[in-house]
Chains A and B, each alone.
Chain A
Amino acid sequence: MELTQTAYKDLILGPEEGMAYGGTFVPEVLLPSLHEITDAFEEIKNDECFVAEFHHALCTFSGRPTAFTPLPRLSAMLGGAQVFLKNEGLNHTGAHKITHCIGQILLAKKLGKRRIIAETGAGQHGYATAAVCARMGLDCTVYMGRKDYERQRPNVYWMELLGAKVAAVDDGDQTLNDAVIAAFKDWVAHPESYYLLGSAVGPRPYPAMNTFFQKVVGEEIRRQCQAATGRLPDYLVACVGGGSNALGMFFDFLDDEGVTLVGVEAGGRGSAPGEHAAKMRQGKLGVFEGYHSYFLQDDDGNIAPTHSVSAGLDYCGISPILAFLADEGRVRFETASDEAALTAVKTLARTEGIIPALESAHAFAHAFELAAQLPKDCIVVVNASGRGEKDLFITMRHFQEESLRDYARHLLAF
């Protein structure tokens, strides 16, 4: 059945669970806390005062609106469509994540919460959470898999400098899933705390709530693209880890049939199990971490390991909202490899003077291919969900390994 396009927005943000996916698949003990947050979210959604306070905080603390940048040299090089970039990397703390952190922290404050729990993979969400907690004077504990803790040490440092407690998780593979599980367990033991979940995944209401906070990105793009070109874009391209930056970009355009929405997942090193994080290409329906959606898993229902050069995309599940929109044919999914993402970082840096986060570079890698095949009057907008400084040691190891070794030796000699 074809839904009218406006119905998508209502379905996603409406009070009823209208989609086939999602749900609240958590131990009963967490239901009272989740219901409390769901009720509060239903209230603030239509509360002009709350929304105004949220937007004020986005402007004054995070620097919104973010720039909408034409990429003329890149477009000329590709020889196809005109490519534009939405620079979410200009947000405070360097990525789009801070937007839903600000929204949720205001909600937590409203609920009288004093302690915040969060999980983080690369550390971007944890960093943003630590920053908003410091600003609001709330106690903050961030769980991080031991492996991520070791390889993303700069972000651990920033979080600690901001006063957060960073707890390294030694269970399992010591990556994002284990951090999510540890955060859930903390919440079971401390149901009076607020769990600030970092993507459009997890149990209800997080997928819809983070989409609601992030939709400001698409709303800005609509205005900025109209102002710059006099019309709407033809393609919107975003990378997909859990789905928060993609949904933030896409949401406002769900009723605009002429706008093609493309999500780009991590193709990693190949299509063998454990070598990528392409849920919509190789995932199967399942239930994990509180929600029903597509997950990378083995035939017998165990969660599969994932890989991506970008920690932010290195995750086994995908937003139930994106899963639904994919089934509906409203969002198209593609993949970009580690190699292609690294190349895209360099290409964008050299042609336009912008260094994107490795996550966002996946969206660029695909957009380059796409734009090259499109006519010149087409408009492609790419979401630069984050800036690339956080990836210093990863990209430097790839592009200038000797120089990195030198620097490490120099640092150790102090």
Chain B
Amino acid sequence: MNTLEKTGGFSLMNGRFREGQLPIMAHLVVGYPSLEESLRTAEAYIRAGVQVLELQIPFSHPTADGPIITAACREAVRQGVTVRDCIVAIAALRKRHPSQEIVAMSYLNRIYAFGCQRFMGEMEAFGVQHLLVPDLPVDHIDFPSFQNLRNRRVKLVPVLAANVSDARLEKLLQMGFDFFYLMSDFKITGSAFGLHPRLREVIARVKSHPVAHCQSAYAPFPRVGVGFGISTPEQARLVVEDADLAIVGSALIQAQREGRLDAYLDELKNTFARATECA
């Protein structure tokens, strides 16, 4: 049993968020603007109480990201940040924060170049329970070259949009994924905010399907995070009326770049404190 399971996991109490934690998956690009600085940013996120920390391994050509994350990735790559550097950073964070939930994110080529099996081993060793690969439809791990991405302790996160067919969604639910990332609408990261009309239905469907093949009693239903284009705390609050997590990326990088990260995080905290009071 690893540290995460001992702490009671990060499952939600019936879809609501845990006391003292923000229902936020906060994203950053490891190595941007520098390795040290990105670690400090992670610490700031954790202090603010974000439930999930999403660490993106930078790639030269992030095909599904908007201009802010793309620029951050390119800058990190320019500085020569390696996959190994990212793993060392994850290890350092894990050491200081044994129970912080961490999701790793990487385009497939960097994982493939590093070695799929070796990469998954490192993720497992440092208690990363979920891996998000935006250019890997999750059932492509059947491809011989990528079979080693199948791992009992490190699960892939399907990234879906409102155009997912019922059959496809059913298939993924049957495959036992326990964390789904939904795109707010048809767009790339960092776009203007808006929720697709069908999203609510997709969220409800995912959340009503008990996790297939699940051995843990803590997480009977999959969690759902909604991201792409969430820029204000108010938008994040709106999103978690239906989803478990609001995923914030470009807006945080932008705030960090403009030296107002702490102010942004405070605003997030205040927004959710008010929301809890009102509830």
Contact = CB atoms under 8 A, between A and B. Distances in A.
Interface of A: 20, 23-29, 31-32, 171-172, 177-178, 181, 184-185, 188-191, 284-290, 292, 295, 297, 299-303
Given A23-B143, A172-B74, A28 B110 contact: no
A287 to B, nearest CB: 5
A20 B63 contact: no
Residue among B61, B83, B110 with most chain A CB within 10 A? B61
Nearest to A31: B137
Mostly, the A contact residues are: mixed
Contacts of A28: 137-138, 158-161, 164
Interface string B95-115: 000000000000011111110
B51 to A, nearest CB: 23
Nearest to B172: A28
Interface in B126-174: 134-138, 140, 143-145, 158-161, 163-165, 168
B122 to A, nearest CB: 14
Interface stretch (B42-50, B180-188, B237-245, B267-275): B180-188
Given A27-B135, A29-B161, A185-B188, A284 B61 contact: no
Nearest to B83: A300
B109 A303 contact: yes
A181 B61 contact: yes
Given A292-B145, A303-B60, A297 B109 contact: yes
Given A25-B140, A26-B137, A191-B186, 9 more contacts: A31-B137, A31-B168, A177-B61, A181-B63, A189-B187, A285-B112, A301-B83, A301-B112, A302-B60
Closest 7 CB pairs of A and B: A301-B113, A302-B60, A29-B161, A301-B110, A287-B108, A301-B109, A286-B109
Given A181-B63, A287-B109, A27 B159 contact: yes
Contacts of A31: 137, 168
A185 B134 CA distance: 13
A25 B159 CA distance: 13
Contact of B183 (A29, A284, A289, A303): A29
Interface in B69-94: 70, 74, 77, 82-83
Nearest to B108: A287
A303 B138 CA distance: 23
Residue among A20, A31, A285 with most chain B CB within 10 A? A31
A29 B188 CA distance: 11
A185 to B, nearest CB: 5
Contact of B70 (A172, A184, A191, A301): A172
